[in-house]
Amino acid sequence: MDSPFWDLVTIWLARASGVMVLTGAGISAESGVPTFRGKDGLWNRFRPEELATLEALQRDPERVWTWYRWRRKKVLQAQPNPAHRALVTLEQWKQPHFLLVTQNVDGLHQRAGSQAVVEFHGNLFEDVCLQCGFHRRIESVASEDSAVPYCPRCGHLLKPGVVMFGEPIPEQALHHVIEFIPRTDILLVIGTSAQVYPAAAIPRWVKDHGGKVVEVNPEQTPVTEMADAFLRGPAGKLVPKLVQDAMKKQQVPHERTFSG
C-alpha cells in the first residue's frame, strides 16, 4: 500500500492486545448504502433537520417515514462487503479484547458475523413507541405497508429505532465504550466524517489514554490531524489487506541473534 505508515500500522495492530474499531456510513458505501456526507452523500439531496429529528417526525410523519422506509429497503438489498468481513476476522483474532463501535444503523456488521458490536446510533430495523416503550423488530418492508406506523399497544406514533439528532446516545452503548477506552491500544476509525458527537470524540478519548489512532477514509476528516496514521482509500480495499498483513506480522517470529 502506498502509505509510508502501512508497515508500522500492521505492526501496531499485530502487537495490540486491546483493539477498538469505530465505523461510520463509509464502510457500507461499497455495499450500496448511501452515506450522509461526503461525495454522493444523502445530505446533498435532503436536509437533516427536515428528516432525522423528533420534531420533523411529529410535524410530518408521512415524509419522515417514507424516507426511513426507503432506507430500510436500500439496506435490505445490500450485502456486507469485504471490509465488514475483515472486521469479523479481526474480532476472531483479538477477542475478547475487541470492541466494534458503529454509528451505522444498517445491521451489516452483524449480518457479516461480528459479535461484539455496540450500536451507537440504534438500528434502522426497529419500531419504537416513545409513549409506552413498545418496540418490535422489522424483518422486511412490504410495499403495501402503510407509510406511517402507529403503536399497536397505545396508538401513539411509532419512531424508527435510530438515534435522531438531538436525542441522547443509549446509555448502555456509551457505558461499553467508556469502559473499553483504557484497554484500547489501537483504534481504527473507518468511514466516518467525524461530525456527530459524542462518537466523534472517541478518537480523542483513546489518544488521551495513550492509545494509537489509525484512520481509513478516502477523504480527510477532523480526525486526520490527530491520527497516528491516515490510510487514504476505500475501506473495502484497505481493511481486508490491513488485517491480512497484520496477521502475517504476528506469525513472523522475532529475529534472534546467536552468539556462538
- Tell which residue, 105, 100, 78, has the closest CA to residue 89: 100
Binding mask 91-130 for ligand NAD (x = CB under 6 A): ------------xxxx--------------x---------
Q: Residue 134 interacts with Zn ion (CB under 5 A)?
A: yes
What CA–CA distance (Å, rounded) separates 200 from 209? 16
Which one of Zn ion, ligand NAD, none interacts with residue 134, CB within 5 to 8 A by kind?
Zn ion
Site membership for ligand NAD, residue 36 (CB under 6 A): yes
CB of 98 to ligand NAD, least distance (A): 20
For 163-175, the DSSP string reads: PPTTPPPPHHHHH
Binding to ligand NAD (CB under 6 A): which residues in 154-213?
191-193, 195-196
CB 191 within 8 A of CB 25: yes
Q: Tell me the C-alpha distance between 63 and 45, whole Å.
A: 14
Asked if residue 85 binds ligand NAD (CB under 6 A), the reply is no
Select the residue interacting with ligand NAD from 1, 14, 41, 232 (CB under 6 A).
41
Contact 130, 156 (CB under 8 A): yes
Q: How far is the CB of 172 from Zn ion (least distance, A)?
A: 21
User: Which pairs count as long-range contacts for 141-148, CB under 8 Å and 24+ apart, including other chains?
Assistant: 141/69, 141/72, 141/73, 141/76, 145/69, 147/62, 147/65, 147/66, 147/69, 148/61, 148/62, 148/65
Nearest 5°: CA angle at 234, between 174 and 220? 70
Reading the block at residue 138, the C-alpha cell is 422489522
Is residue 215 part of the contact set for ligand NAD (CB under 6 A)?
no
Residue 33 is a binding residue for ligand NAD (CB under 6 A): yes
231 binds, among ligand NAD, Zn ion, none (CB under 5 to 8 A by kind): none
Determine if 152 is a binding residue for Zn ion (CB under 5 A).
no
Which residue in 171, 209, 199, 162 sits closest to 65, CA to CA? Answer: 162
| Position 235 contacts ligand NAD (CB under 6 A) | yes
User: Which of 30/126 has CB closer to ligand NAD?
Assistant: 30
**Is 131 near Zn ion (CB under 5 A)?**
yes
Residue entry with cell 484512520: 215
Active site residue 176: no
Q: Residue 40: how many CA atoms within 13 Å on its side-chain side?
A: 11
Could you say which of 97, 218, 226, 249 contacts ligand NAD (CB under 6 A)?
218
- Among 97, 121, 135, 254, which one carries the catalytic annotation? 121
How wide is the angle at C-alpha 177 spanned by C-alphas 173 and 182, nearest 5°? 160
Interface residues toward ligand NAD, by CB under 6 A: 24-30, 33, 35-38, 41, 103-106, 121, 191-193, 195-196, 217-219, 221, 234-235
Residues that are catalytic: 121
Interface residues toward Zn ion, by CB under 5 A: 129, 131-132, 134, 151, 153-154, 156
